Amino acid sequence: MIIIAPRISFNYIHYFNKKNMKKHNFSAGPSILPRIALENSAKAILDLNGIGLSLLEISHRSKDFQAVLDETMGLFKELLNIPEGYQVIFLGGGASMQFCMIPYNFLNKKASYLETGVWAEKAIKEAKFFGEVNVVASSKDKNFNYIPKNYTVPADSDYFHITTNNTIYGSEIHSDLDSPVPLIADMSSDILSRPVDVSKYSMIYGGAQKNLGPAGVTFVIIKESLLSKVERKIPTMLNYATHLKEPSLYNTPPVFAIYTCMETLRWIKALGGVKAVQAMNIKKAELLYNAIDNSKMFVGTVAKEDRSLMNICFVMKEAYKDKEEAFMEFTKPRGMVGIKGHRSVGGFRASTYNALPIESVQALVDTMHDFEKLNA
Protein backbone atom coordinates (compact mmCIF):
# COMPACT_ATOMS: atom_id res chain seq x y z
CA MET A 1 0.00 0.00 0.00
CA ILE A 2 1.37 3.40 -0.98
CA ILE A 3 0.76 6.21 1.51
CA ILE A 4 0.61 9.70 0.11
CA ALA A 5 2.10 12.51 2.19
CA PRO A 6 -0.36 14.95 3.81
CA ARG A 7 -1.70 17.81 1.68
CA ILE A 8 -0.47 16.30 -1.58
CA SER A 9 -3.03 16.89 -4.30
CA PHE A 10 -0.91 15.90 -7.31
CA ASN A 11 -0.18 12.51 -8.77
CA TYR A 12 3.35 11.87 -7.54
CA ILE A 13 3.52 8.33 -8.86
CA HIS A 14 2.74 8.77 -12.54
CA TYR A 15 5.06 11.74 -12.82
CA PHE A 16 6.56 10.62 -16.10
CA ASN A 17 5.15 9.79 -19.49
CA LYS A 18 6.35 9.76 -23.06
CA LYS A 19 4.67 13.06 -23.89
CA ASN A 20 6.79 14.83 -21.27
CA MET A 21 10.00 13.09 -22.24
CA LYS A 22 12.11 15.11 -24.66
CA LYS A 23 15.54 13.77 -23.70
CA HIS A 24 17.08 10.81 -21.91
CA ASN A 25 19.04 12.73 -19.28
CA PHE A 26 22.07 10.80 -18.02
CA SER A 27 23.90 13.91 -16.77
CA ALA A 28 26.10 13.48 -13.69
CA GLY A 29 24.92 16.68 -12.04
CA PRO A 30 23.06 18.92 -12.00
CA SER A 31 20.93 16.04 -13.09
CA ILE A 32 17.45 14.78 -13.79
CA LEU A 33 14.71 15.55 -11.27
CA PRO A 34 11.18 14.14 -10.99
CA ARG A 35 8.89 15.82 -13.48
CA ILE A 36 6.29 16.50 -10.81
CA ALA A 37 8.90 18.28 -8.66
CA LEU A 38 9.83 20.54 -11.57
CA GLU A 39 6.22 21.34 -12.41
CA ASN A 40 5.21 22.14 -8.83
CA SER A 41 8.35 24.22 -8.25
CA ALA A 42 7.58 26.21 -11.38
CA LYS A 43 4.06 26.88 -10.09
CA ALA A 44 5.44 28.03 -6.74
CA ILE A 45 7.65 30.58 -8.48
CA LEU A 46 4.52 32.22 -9.86
CA ASP A 47 2.27 31.74 -6.82
CA LEU A 48 3.08 29.82 -3.64
CA ASN A 49 0.03 27.87 -2.45
CA GLY A 50 -2.37 30.52 -3.70
CA ILE A 51 -1.09 33.31 -1.43
CA GLY A 52 -0.64 35.69 -4.36
CA LEU A 53 3.13 35.92 -3.98
CA SER A 54 6.02 34.06 -5.54
CA LEU A 55 8.16 31.68 -3.52
CA LEU A 56 11.05 33.89 -4.61
CA GLU A 57 9.64 37.08 -3.10
CA ILE A 58 8.39 36.05 0.33
CA SER A 59 10.41 36.42 3.52
CA HIS A 60 12.42 33.37 4.51
CA ARG A 61 11.13 34.01 8.04
CA SER A 62 7.46 34.02 7.01
CA LYS A 63 5.08 31.32 8.14
CA ASP A 64 4.67 30.27 4.52
CA PHE A 65 8.35 29.44 4.06
CA GLN A 66 8.66 28.04 7.58
CA ALA A 67 6.03 25.48 6.58
CA VAL A 68 8.15 24.52 3.56
CA LEU A 69 11.28 24.19 5.68
CA ASP A 70 9.50 22.17 8.37
CA GLU A 71 8.03 19.73 5.86
CA THR A 72 11.34 19.32 4.03
CA MET A 73 13.21 18.55 7.23
CA GLY A 74 10.43 16.28 8.44
CA LEU A 75 10.33 14.25 5.23
CA PHE A 76 14.11 13.96 5.18
CA LYS A 77 14.12 12.59 8.73
CA GLU A 78 11.21 10.24 8.01
CA LEU A 79 12.55 8.79 4.74
CA LEU A 80 16.04 8.18 6.14
CA ASN A 81 14.74 7.10 9.56
CA ILE A 82 17.04 9.62 11.26
CA PRO A 83 17.19 8.86 15.01
CA GLU A 84 16.95 11.23 17.96
CA GLY A 85 20.08 13.25 18.67
CA TYR A 86 20.57 14.29 15.04
CA GLN A 87 19.62 17.49 13.26
CA VAL A 88 19.09 18.24 9.59
CA ILE A 89 20.19 21.60 8.21
CA PHE A 90 20.41 23.12 4.74
CA LEU A 91 23.39 25.30 3.83
CA GLY A 92 24.99 26.98 0.83
CA GLY A 93 28.45 26.49 -0.59
CA GLY A 94 28.05 22.96 -1.91
CA ALA A 95 29.80 19.85 -0.61
CA SER A 96 33.11 21.60 -1.35
CA MET A 97 32.45 24.06 1.48
CA GLN A 98 31.96 21.09 3.80
CA PHE A 99 35.47 19.88 2.91
CA CYS A 100 36.68 22.94 4.81
CA MET A 101 34.00 23.16 7.52
CA ILE A 102 34.42 19.56 8.68
CA PRO A 103 38.10 19.81 9.71
CA TYR A 104 37.54 23.38 10.96
CA ASN A 105 34.91 22.07 13.39
CA PHE A 106 36.16 18.58 14.21
CA LEU A 107 39.88 18.09 13.51
CA ASN A 108 41.92 18.53 16.70
CA LYS A 109 45.08 16.60 15.92
CA LYS A 110 44.50 13.87 13.35
CA ALA A 111 41.77 12.77 10.97
CA SER A 112 41.57 9.69 8.77
CA TYR A 113 40.35 9.67 5.17
CA LEU A 114 39.58 6.98 2.58
CA GLU A 115 40.82 8.12 -0.84
CA THR A 116 38.48 6.82 -3.54
CA GLY A 117 38.35 9.60 -6.12
CA VAL A 118 38.70 13.27 -6.99
CA TRP A 119 36.21 14.50 -4.40
CA ALA A 120 37.91 12.52 -1.65
CA GLU A 121 41.23 14.04 -2.80
CA LYS A 122 39.74 17.52 -2.54
CA ALA A 123 38.43 16.81 0.97
CA ILE A 124 41.88 15.55 2.01
CA LYS A 125 43.55 18.66 0.62
CA GLU A 126 41.32 20.96 2.69
CA ALA A 127 41.75 18.92 5.88
CA LYS A 128 45.53 19.26 5.71
CA PHE A 129 45.18 22.97 6.51
CA PHE A 130 43.92 22.07 9.99
CA GLY A 131 45.96 19.13 11.18
CA GLU A 132 47.44 15.74 10.40
CA VAL A 133 45.61 13.72 7.76
CA ASN A 134 46.00 9.96 7.65
CA VAL A 135 44.96 8.35 4.36
CA VAL A 136 44.06 4.86 5.55
CA ALA A 137 43.82 3.45 2.02
CA SER A 138 43.64 4.61 -1.59
CA SER A 139 42.55 3.21 -4.95
CA LYS A 140 44.53 5.82 -6.88
CA ASP A 141 46.97 3.12 -8.04
CA LYS A 142 44.31 1.82 -10.45
CA ASN A 143 42.70 5.16 -11.34
CA PHE A 144 40.09 4.73 -8.58
CA ASN A 145 38.37 1.77 -10.26
CA TYR A 146 37.76 -0.08 -6.97
CA ILE A 147 36.97 0.53 -3.28
CA PRO A 148 39.90 -0.31 -0.94
CA LYS A 149 39.36 -3.10 1.58
CA ASN A 150 41.13 -4.45 4.69
CA TYR A 151 42.46 -1.17 6.06
CA THR A 152 42.69 -0.02 9.67
CA VAL A 153 41.34 3.25 11.03
CA PRO A 154 43.51 4.47 13.92
CA ALA A 155 41.53 4.72 17.15
CA ASP A 156 43.11 8.10 17.94
CA SER A 157 41.59 9.73 14.83
CA ASP A 158 39.20 12.58 15.51
CA TYR A 159 36.99 11.22 12.72
CA PHE A 160 37.01 8.98 9.64
CA HIS A 161 35.83 10.51 6.34
CA ILE A 162 34.53 8.55 3.35
CA THR A 163 32.97 9.38 -0.01
CA THR A 164 30.29 6.76 -0.54
CA ASN A 165 29.81 7.15 -4.30
CA ASN A 166 32.34 8.34 -6.85
CA THR A 167 30.62 10.07 -9.74
CA ILE A 168 33.67 10.31 -12.01
CA TYR A 169 34.89 6.72 -11.71
CA GLY A 170 31.66 4.83 -11.04
CA SER A 171 32.53 3.08 -7.78
CA GLU A 172 30.37 2.94 -4.65
CA ILE A 173 30.46 1.79 -1.03
CA HIS A 174 27.29 -0.29 -0.83
CA SER A 175 27.02 -0.82 2.93
CA ASP A 176 27.27 1.24 6.10
CA LEU A 177 30.76 0.82 7.53
CA ASP A 178 31.62 0.12 11.15
CA SER A 179 34.09 2.70 12.41
CA PRO A 180 35.95 2.92 15.73
CA VAL A 181 35.79 6.72 15.53
CA PRO A 182 33.09 9.19 14.39
CA LEU A 183 32.23 8.40 10.77
CA ILE A 184 31.59 11.28 8.35
CA ALA A 185 30.32 10.59 4.85
CA ASP A 186 29.98 12.62 1.68
CA MET A 187 26.80 11.17 0.13
CA SER A 188 26.31 13.83 -2.52
CA SER A 189 25.56 11.38 -5.30
CA ASP A 190 23.83 8.45 -3.60
CA ILE A 191 21.75 9.97 -0.82
CA LEU A 192 18.20 8.54 -0.80
CA SER A 193 19.17 5.88 -3.35
CA ARG A 194 19.29 3.16 -0.68
CA PRO A 195 18.39 2.81 3.00
CA VAL A 196 21.11 4.10 5.35
CA ASP A 197 21.68 3.28 9.01
CA VAL A 198 22.20 6.88 10.06
CA SER A 199 23.12 5.81 13.60
CA LYS A 200 26.46 4.52 12.26
CA TYR A 201 27.43 8.02 11.13
CA SER A 202 28.21 11.16 13.08
CA MET A 203 27.64 13.29 9.99
CA ILE A 204 26.30 12.81 6.45
CA TYR A 205 26.40 15.63 3.95
CA GLY A 206 26.21 16.38 0.26
CA GLY A 207 25.20 18.66 -2.55
CA ALA A 208 21.54 18.26 -3.48
CA GLN A 209 21.98 18.33 -7.25
CA LYS A 210 22.01 14.57 -7.90
CA ASN A 211 19.11 12.88 -6.10
CA LEU A 212 17.50 15.57 -4.00
CA GLY A 213 17.06 18.92 -5.74
CA PRO A 214 18.70 21.62 -7.84
CA ALA A 215 22.18 23.03 -7.36
CA GLY A 216 22.50 25.66 -4.66
CA VAL A 217 21.68 23.83 -1.44
CA THR A 218 23.69 21.39 0.67
CA PHE A 219 22.14 18.97 3.14
CA VAL A 220 23.84 18.18 6.45
CA ILE A 221 22.73 15.46 8.87
CA ILE A 222 24.75 15.91 12.05
CA LYS A 223 24.89 14.20 15.41
CA GLU A 224 24.63 16.92 18.03
CA SER A 225 27.21 15.27 20.30
CA LEU A 226 29.86 15.78 17.58
CA LEU A 227 29.93 19.53 18.27
CA SER A 228 32.34 21.44 20.53
CA LYS A 229 35.26 19.08 19.94
CA VAL A 230 37.92 21.64 18.99
CA GLU A 231 39.56 24.45 20.90
CA ARG A 232 40.09 26.83 17.99
CA LYS A 233 37.77 29.75 17.39
CA ILE A 234 35.51 29.15 14.40
CA PRO A 235 34.07 31.97 12.27
CA THR A 236 30.33 32.33 12.76
CA MET A 237 29.22 31.17 9.32
CA LEU A 238 31.61 28.21 9.32
CA ASN A 239 30.48 26.97 12.73
CA TYR A 240 27.91 24.17 12.63
CA ALA A 241 26.63 25.27 16.04
CA THR A 242 25.46 28.54 14.46
CA HIS A 243 23.24 26.75 11.96
CA LEU A 244 21.93 24.20 14.45
CA LYS A 245 20.91 26.91 16.89
CA GLU A 246 18.79 28.63 14.23
CA PRO A 247 18.03 25.64 11.99
CA SER A 248 18.91 26.65 8.42
CA LEU A 249 17.79 30.22 9.10
CA TYR A 250 20.82 32.04 10.51
CA ASN A 251 21.03 33.81 7.17
CA THR A 252 18.80 33.71 4.10
CA PRO A 253 18.71 30.09 2.88
CA PRO A 254 18.37 29.02 -0.78
CA VAL A 255 14.57 29.02 -0.65
CA PHE A 256 13.86 27.77 -4.16
CA ALA A 257 16.30 24.87 -3.93
CA ILE A 258 14.83 23.83 -0.58
CA TYR A 259 11.31 23.94 -2.01
CA THR A 260 12.29 21.65 -4.88
CA CYS A 261 13.91 19.30 -2.38
CA MET A 262 10.57 19.15 -0.56
CA GLU A 263 8.80 18.24 -3.79
CA THR A 264 11.37 15.52 -4.54
CA LEU A 265 11.00 14.08 -1.03
CA ARG A 266 7.22 14.02 -1.45
CA TRP A 267 7.72 12.08 -4.68
CA ILE A 268 10.01 9.54 -2.99
CA LYS A 269 7.50 9.02 -0.18
CA ALA A 270 4.67 8.51 -2.65
CA LEU A 271 6.68 5.87 -4.50
CA GLY A 272 6.92 3.89 -1.27
CA GLY A 273 10.04 5.35 0.31
CA VAL A 274 13.74 4.71 -0.06
CA LYS A 275 13.44 0.92 -0.20
CA ALA A 276 11.15 1.20 -3.21
CA VAL A 277 13.55 3.62 -4.88
CA GLN A 278 16.45 1.25 -4.20
CA ALA A 279 14.59 -1.58 -5.94
CA MET A 280 14.07 0.64 -8.99
CA ASN A 281 17.73 1.62 -9.01
CA ILE A 282 18.89 -1.99 -8.84
CA LYS A 283 16.72 -2.89 -11.84
CA LYS A 284 18.09 0.02 -13.87
CA ALA A 285 21.69 -0.79 -13.02
CA GLU A 286 21.26 -4.51 -13.71
CA LEU A 287 19.76 -3.74 -17.11
CA LEU A 288 22.69 -1.58 -18.19
CA TYR A 289 25.48 -3.61 -16.58
CA ASN A 290 24.12 -6.79 -18.21
CA ALA A 291 24.20 -5.06 -21.59
CA ILE A 292 27.80 -3.97 -20.99
CA ASP A 293 28.95 -7.39 -19.78
CA ASN A 294 27.38 -9.17 -22.75
CA SER A 295 28.60 -6.68 -25.34
CA LYS A 296 31.15 -7.32 -28.07
CA MET A 297 32.12 -3.63 -28.12
CA PHE A 298 31.70 -2.20 -24.61
CA VAL A 299 33.39 -3.04 -21.31
CA GLY A 300 32.98 -1.77 -17.75
CA THR A 301 35.75 0.12 -15.96
CA VAL A 302 35.08 -0.74 -12.29
CA ALA A 303 35.57 -3.88 -10.19
CA LYS A 304 32.20 -5.66 -10.33
CA GLU A 305 31.70 -5.82 -6.54
CA ASP A 306 32.20 -2.04 -6.32
CA ARG A 307 30.10 -0.90 -9.26
CA SER A 308 27.96 2.14 -8.59
CA LEU A 309 24.19 2.06 -8.93
CA MET A 310 24.26 5.77 -9.67
CA ASN A 311 27.10 6.34 -12.17
CA ILE A 312 27.71 3.54 -14.65
CA CYS A 313 31.04 3.95 -16.45
CA PHE A 314 32.13 2.00 -19.51
CA VAL A 315 34.45 2.28 -22.52
CA MET A 316 34.96 0.70 -25.92
CA LYS A 317 37.07 -2.44 -26.00
CA GLU A 318 40.54 -1.95 -27.48
CA ALA A 319 39.54 -3.27 -30.89
CA TYR A 320 36.83 -0.60 -31.19
CA LYS A 321 38.49 2.43 -29.56
CA ASP A 322 38.23 4.35 -32.82
CA LYS A 323 34.42 4.05 -32.66
CA GLU A 324 33.89 6.12 -29.50
CA GLU A 325 33.15 9.40 -31.25
CA ALA A 326 30.92 7.63 -33.74
CA PHE A 327 28.90 6.13 -30.89
CA MET A 328 28.50 9.55 -29.25
CA GLU A 329 27.12 10.91 -32.52
CA PHE A 330 24.87 7.86 -32.87
CA THR A 331 23.22 8.58 -29.50
CA LYS A 332 22.34 12.23 -30.18
CA PRO A 333 19.36 11.82 -32.53
CA ARG A 334 17.99 9.25 -30.08
CA GLY A 335 17.77 11.89 -27.35
CA MET A 336 20.71 10.76 -25.22
CA VAL A 337 22.19 13.54 -23.08
CA GLY A 338 25.14 13.52 -20.68
CA ILE A 339 26.72 10.13 -21.41
CA LYS A 340 30.23 11.34 -22.24
CA GLY A 341 32.69 10.05 -19.65
CA HIS A 342 34.79 12.35 -17.49
CA ARG A 343 38.04 13.40 -19.17
CA SER A 344 40.11 11.54 -16.55
CA VAL A 345 38.41 8.24 -17.44
CA GLY A 346 37.19 8.68 -21.01
CA GLY A 347 34.55 6.57 -22.62
CA PHE A 348 31.00 6.88 -21.36
CA ARG A 349 29.11 7.49 -18.12
CA ALA A 350 25.40 6.96 -17.63
CA SER A 351 24.16 8.50 -14.40
CA THR A 352 21.07 6.58 -13.33
CA TYR A 353 19.90 8.73 -10.45
CA ASN A 354 16.57 8.16 -8.69
CA ALA A 355 14.45 10.21 -11.08
CA LEU A 356 15.76 8.57 -14.27
CA PRO A 357 13.05 6.21 -15.54
CA ILE A 358 13.95 2.69 -16.58
CA GLU A 359 12.62 3.56 -20.05
CA SER A 360 15.66 5.80 -20.53
CA VAL A 361 18.03 2.99 -19.54
CA GLN A 362 16.28 0.65 -21.96
CA ALA A 363 16.61 3.27 -24.69
CA LEU A 364 20.36 3.46 -24.06
CA VAL A 365 20.67 -0.34 -24.10
CA ASP A 366 18.76 -0.48 -27.39
CA THR A 367 21.04 2.20 -28.82
CA MET A 368 24.12 0.22 -27.80
CA HIS A 369 22.72 -2.93 -29.41
CA ASP A 370 21.86 -1.13 -32.63
CA PHE A 371 25.29 0.47 -32.86
CA GLU A 372 26.94 -2.88 -32.23
CA LYS A 373 24.94 -4.54 -35.03
CA LEU A 374 26.14 -1.89 -37.47
CA ASN A 375 29.78 -1.75 -36.36
CA ALA A 376 30.93 -4.97 -34.64
8 Å CB contact between 369 and 362: no
Cβ neighbors of 15 (< 8 A, separation 6 or more) are 34, 35, 36, 37, 267
Cα Rg of the chain (Å, integer): 21
Indicate which residues carry an active-site annotation.
Answer: 119, 186, 210
Distance CA 203, CA 223 (A): 6
What pLDDT is recorded for position 18? Answer: 46
* Residue 232 identity (one-letter amino acid): R
Mean pLDDT for back-to-back runs of 10 residues, the chain (376 residues): 38 46 90 97 97 97 97 98 97 96 97 98 98 98 97 98 98 97 98 98 98 97 93 95 96 97 98 98 98 97 98 97 96 96 93 98 98 94
What pLDDT is recorded for position 228? Answer: 84
How far does Cα 43 stand from its chain's mean position? 25
Give the torsion through C-alpha atoms of 229, 235, 240, 246, to 10 deg.
130
Which of 2, 32, 35 lies closest to 17, judged by CA? 35
| Domains in the chain with CATH codes | 42-270 (3.40.640.10), 274-375 (3.90.1150.10)
How far does Cα 195 stand from its chain's mean position? 13
What pLDDT is recorded for position 254? Answer: 97
